[in-house]
Chain A
Amino acid sequence: MSDSYGIDRREFVKAAVAIGGASALSACLDRGPEIDVPRGPEDPASAFPERQHAWNAALPTDDAGNNHHPRHRVLLPLSYGDGMPTDAERETVEAALAGLERAYERSAAGLLLTVSYSPYYFDRFDESLPESVDLPEPRALADFEDPDADDIDAIVHLASDHGEVVMGAEEALKGEVDELNGVSQPDASLTDVFTLGERRTGFIGDGLPAENQDVDGVPDDGPVPEDAPLYMGFESAFQGNQPGEDRVTIQSGPFAGGTTQQLSTLTLNLKQWYEQDSRDQRVSKMFCPHHASEGTVEGTGENLGTDPQMDDCGDPTETARSEGVVGHGQKMVDVREDDAPIILRRDFDSTDQDRAGVHFLSLQRTIEDFVTTREAMNGDDVASNSAVGQRTNNGILQYIDTVRRGNFLIPPRSLRALPPANPADDAAENAEVAHA
């Protein structure tokens, strides 16, 4: 038996996050030692950055020098329904969000959050989104996928190293608790304005996938390495293969300081991955054949430090021609700008529906940047010119199935509560009215 801080408790907390609700939260709080999370500032609006997605500065750096990812996640889908948002509703949403921010410090140990809005939300306005925002409706991005469109209006992303924090934050947003971390909560709740959709949950970080591998899509004998941060067994987000936040931030227009969020739900089939592929095959398909033959990747790849050394992989088509396989990461190196990818990956694993999955969440300046990256990952040209198949030996395409795709705008913080489609137009109109 491990002690209450050990695996049992970690598994317990993760299971509680997956199940959610006030009873799960209280079961969690009853069971464990009180967690000690610093509170946030009295006036978050003046203390917090305008970029909702500016998380990096609030995240510790791990031993290897990479950004740490908050271990527990909840995504709360929200439907607004018909009609136009009112200023009173905006105040309600803002008050509910600010309540959380006063309760928990803005950090991985505390709470990080974003609110984002879909094209379906913005459709209701007469004006369209400004040209500085690229936010099409989601569509299939590969010949072999047929995803559902994530057609909810908005989604809140809650992230913390403490499961209790994301659960507490969720309960507060639903108006279920009066006090959070000793801080009294406003009467306002998101449910005053939105209808909640089916919550989505997840986790990322060493140990969590192994502890939560008793789900469909993972073989029964528990093949996920104990120290892996993700189900497929490797470190993914290295300092050297992530862009900075500036590269993904919208630079101009009323939503400057915002970003776009691509959110897809992937299901994993890891029987083949762990039982029918060898370690070398896995390294070839995830990184590249060069890394497999040179033994570049040890274990989960922690030995790579901050740099997955993709420059050594070679040209994807040439590799596919001569090796019969091309790596997942290798295919996307060509998309890099200034030696960094153009999407910032903040994805995490999930056991939703008792199914091994991924909530692939990435930030980029335009959705087009995501599409470009995803097309490179499809490797159509590589497949057409080599022994590599549409999904066979074509990176990790064989093992993942995209079941849902959604596109969202994460507006700057000052516009995070029910933004109009074109705030500048509105402001201009208001100004005219004021002068009239």
Chain B
Amino acid sequence: MHKSRRAFLAGVGAAGAAGLAGCSGFELQSGNREPPLVENRPDGVYVPTHTEGMGMASMQSDGGYSCALTYSFPHRFWTITGSDTTMVEVGNSDALHLMPIVWHSETGIVPSDVNPTVDISRDGESVVDGLSPWPMLAQRMGFHFGDNVELPEQGEYDVTVSIGEGGNRRTGSLADAGAAEFEFTLDYQLSELNDLPFEDIPPARQGTLGAVQPMQMDMVPLMQAPTEDELPGTVRGTAESGDAQFVVTTIDDAGAFGDDADQQHLAVSAHTPYNRYPIPLMSLSATVTRDGETVFDGYLNEWQDGDLGIHYGALLDTVKEGDELTITVDSPPQVSRHEGYETAFLNMSDATLTL
């Protein structure tokens, strides 16, 4: 590293050369404890090879939001573009899987319309800056943002997490939350990291359809989609596509969603099977037909709402019993996947429901 630069600096005796010397030195033995992937993974949510515990630096609040800086072992995950996934393997220098969990304090919603930014420094020297971690779906945590990060050595780091204004499809106090910034001290110690639980799942269970249990952390809300009972409005039933569940409800007073003409808000709460985590970042559209005639054909847009959670919705004139709803997945969820989700929510056919 810095070969020519260092040679040059040596040549002209400029100050600052010492700052470049510390590039090597600390050898990470974090190693990668992950067992090999399950062979013949099913095309759906499946039980992964192992579970990992999570550590937390601390929790902070600002601007209507709270943020917990959490971490785990660096681990493999899959990024996604369209329906193409790319497996990300743990890099030699990866120290942690870092997860800044930001939620709206009042509603507990982890918003999907903002991307947090992470800056990490050590003794005032920047280590990582302007990192925008991936939106992710994990079986123990649900929807969050995270990435494997490299840290040069053990010790204390200053970590700043910031988020900007959210999008324009928010209701109630979610719409009032502005930009926010949270500051943490993260003490990275291998011994502490290695003390986190790491449990292999019995081979017989690995790769079977199902999911591991959600993990509850102190102070951090577990964001699950509302149950059918908890959902507001008239719940019309549940349809399925590519392992995702689409729970459909209609809200009569659609004022919060921009209605001014007595329309209804047709809301689709999309969630994972088993753990009921909301699935954000899809392109959904819907048609409603009545007696063979199309009465609605349009986008279901992603909303952040305290009662409905992250959901997809559209305004339409009054729904009648017996109407046929077809939900089309124009793009599967563009969230990166932790193990056990990477083969699910990819080939998503139309979901239909009689309202």
Q: What 1/0 flags go to A25-42 for Cβ under 8 Å of B?
A: 001000100000000000
Q: CA of A389 to CA of B4 in the docked complex: distance in angstroms?
A: 40
Chain B residues positioned under 8 Å from A403 (CB to CB): 130
Q: How far is the CA of A216 from the CA of B150 in the complex (A)?
A: 11
Chain A residues closer than 8 Å to B301, beta-carbon distance: 384-385
Indicate if the CB atoms of B331 and A323 lie closer than 8 Å.
Answer: yes
Determine which residue in B114, B131, B147 has the highest number of CB atoms from chain A within 10 A of its CB, and name it.
Answer: B131
**Across the interface, do B14 and A23 meet the contact criterion of CB distance under 8 Å?**
yes
**A66 beta carbon closer than 8 Å to chain B:** no
Interface magnitude class on chain B:
35 or more
Contact between B126 and A355 (Cβ–Cβ < 8 Å)?
yes
Which residues does chain B contribute within 8 Å of A322, judged by CB atoms? Answer: 283, 330-331
Is A174 located at the chain interface by the 8 A CB criterion? Answer: no
B10-37: contact bitstring with A at CB < 8 Å (1 yes, 0 no)?
0111100000100000000000000000
B5 to chain A, nearest CB (A): 5
Query: Which residues of A lie under 8 Å from residue B80 when comparing CB positions?
Result: 324
- Contact present for A387 and B129 (CB under 8 Å): no
Q: A144-B114, A324-B332 are in contact. Are A385 and B299 (CB under 8 A)?
A: yes
* B256 lies within 8 A of chain A by Cβ: no
A8 within 8 Å of B (CB atoms): yes
Q: Which of A269-277, A366-374, A421-429 contacts B (4 or more CB under 8 A)?
A: A269-277
A324 touches B115 (CB 8 A): no
Given contacts A15-B8, A275-B91, A392-B135, contact A384 B164 (CB under 8 A): no
0/1 per residue, A307-347, Cβ < 8 Å to B? 00000000000001111110000000000000000000000
A222's nearest neighbour on chain B, judged by CB, is B1
Q: Which of A16, A267, A324 contacts B81 (CB 8 A)?
A: A324
CA A419 to CA B46, docked complex, whole Å: 69
Is there contact, CB below 8 Å, between A278 and B113? no
What chain A residues lie within 8 Å of B130 (beta carbons)?
A: 267, 269, 400-401, 403
B88 beta carbon closer than 8 Å to chain A? yes
User: Any chain A CB within 8 A of the CB of B40?
Assistant: no
B249 at the interface (CB under 8 A from A): no
Known: A142-B164, A389-B113, A389-B135. A284 touches B81 (CB 8 A): yes
A352 at the interface (CB under 8 A from B): no
Partner of A384, one of B117, B168, B333: B168
> Closest B-chain residue to A144, C-beta based?
B164
Instruction: Give the Cβ gap from B218 to chain A, nearest Cβ, in Å.
Output: 29
- Is A143 a contact of B8 with CB atoms below 8 Å? no
B334 at the interface (CB under 8 A from A): yes
Tell me whether A12 and B8 are in contact in the complex, defined as CB-CB below 8 angstroms, given that A214-B2, A401-B117 are known contacts.
Answer: yes
Report Cα–Cα, A399/B115, bound state, in Å.
12
Complex-state Cα separation, A271 to B74, whole angstroms: 14
With A324-B80, A387-B333 as contacts: A276 and B86 at CB distance below 8 Å: yes
Is the pair B82, A269 in contact by a Cβ cutoff of 8 Å? Answer: no
Q: Does B70 contact A (CB under 8 A)?
A: no
Determine how close the nearest CB of chain B comes to the CB of A296; give it in whole angstroms. Answer: 16
Q: Is the CB of B81 within 8 A of A285?
A: yes
- Among B296-339, those with CB < 8 Å from A are 299, 301, 330-334
B9 at the interface (CB under 8 A from A): yes
Does A275 lie within 8 Å of B88, measured CB to CB? Answer: yes
Question: Once the chains are docked, how many angstroms separate the CA of A318 from the CA of B283?
Answer: 10
A398 touches B115 (CB 8 A): yes
Does chain B have a CB within 8 A of A220?
yes
Return chain B residues, CB-CB under 8 Å to A18.
Answer: 5
Which of A8, A21, A285, A390 lies at the interface centre, i.e. has the most chain B CB atoms within 10 A of its CB?
A390
**B86 (CB) vs chain A CBs: closest residue:** A278
The answer on a CB contact under 8 Å between A145 and B283 is no
Interface: A123 (CB within 8 A) = no
Q: How far is the CA of A380 from the CA of B166 in the complex (A)?
A: 10
Check B281–A15 contact: CB distance below 8 A: no
Asked if residues A392 and B334 are in contact (CB atoms below 8 Å), the reply is yes
B115 touches A389 (CB 8 A): yes
Chain B residues with Cβ under 8 A from A397's Cβ?
132
* Interchain nearest-CB distance for B347 vs A (Å): 14
Residues of B within 8 A of A16 (CB): 8
Query: Of all chain B residues, which has the CB nearest A399?
Result: B132
- Whether a CB of chain B sits under 8 angstroms from the CB of A289 is yes
Q: Provide the bound-state CA to CA distance between A11 and B332, in Å.
A: 45
- Is the CB of B165 closer than 8 A to any CB of chain A? yes
Q: Give A321 to B329 CA distance when docked, in angstroms.
A: 9
CA distance in complex: A390, B117 (Å): 12
Task: Tell me if B293 counts as interface (CB < 8 A to partner A).
Answer: no
Chain A nearest Cβ from B75, distance in angstroms: 13
Contacts of A393 in B (CB 8 A): 81, 334
B-side contacts of A113, CB under 8 Å: none
In the complex, which of the residues B1, B115, B282 contacts A391, with contact meaning CB atoms closer than 8 Å?
A: B115
A residues less than 8 Å from B81 (CB atoms): 277-278, 280-281, 284-285, 289, 323-325, 393
Q: Are B135 and A325 in contact (CB under 8 A)?
A: no
**Is the C-beta of A383 less than 8 angstroms from some C-beta in chain B?**
yes
Let me know if B4 and A390 touch, CB within 8 A: no
Contact B132 A391, beta carbon cutoff 8 Å:
yes
Q: Provide the residues of chain B in CB contact with A355, threshold 8 Å.
A: 126, 129
Tell me which of A142, A272, A277 contacts B147 (CB under 8 A). Answer: A272
Within 8 A of B (CB), among A216-250: 216, 219-220
- Cα separation A143 to B114 with both chains bound (whole Å): 9
Let me know if A401 and B129 touch, CB within 8 A.
Answer: yes
- Kindly state whether residue B246 has any CB partner on chain A within 8 Å: no
Q: Is the pair A387, B12 in contact by a Cβ cutoff of 8 Å?
A: no
Residues from 271 to 309 in A contacting B, C-beta threshold 8 Å: 271-272, 275-278, 280-281, 284-285, 289
**Among all A-B residue pairs, the 10 with the closest Cβ atoms:** A401-B130, A324-B331, A144-B164, A387-B331, A143-B164, A143-B165, A11-B4, A391-B115, A387-B283, A321-B283
Question: 13 pairs across A/B with beta carbons < 8 Å?
Answer: A12-B8, A214-B2, A216-B126, A219-B91, A272-B79, A321-B283, A322-B283, A384-B113, A384-B167, A384-B169, A387-B333, A392-B134, A400-B130
Please name 20 further chain A to chain B contacts, defined as beta carbons within 8 Å, in addition to the given A216-B129, A391-B115, sorted by A numbering: A15-B4, A19-B8, A24-B12, A143-B179, A144-B114, A214-B2, A214-B3, A269-B128, A271-B150, A278-B86, A281-B79, A281-B81, A321-B330, A322-B283, A324-B82, A354-B20, A386-B330, A387-B281, A388-B281, A400-B130
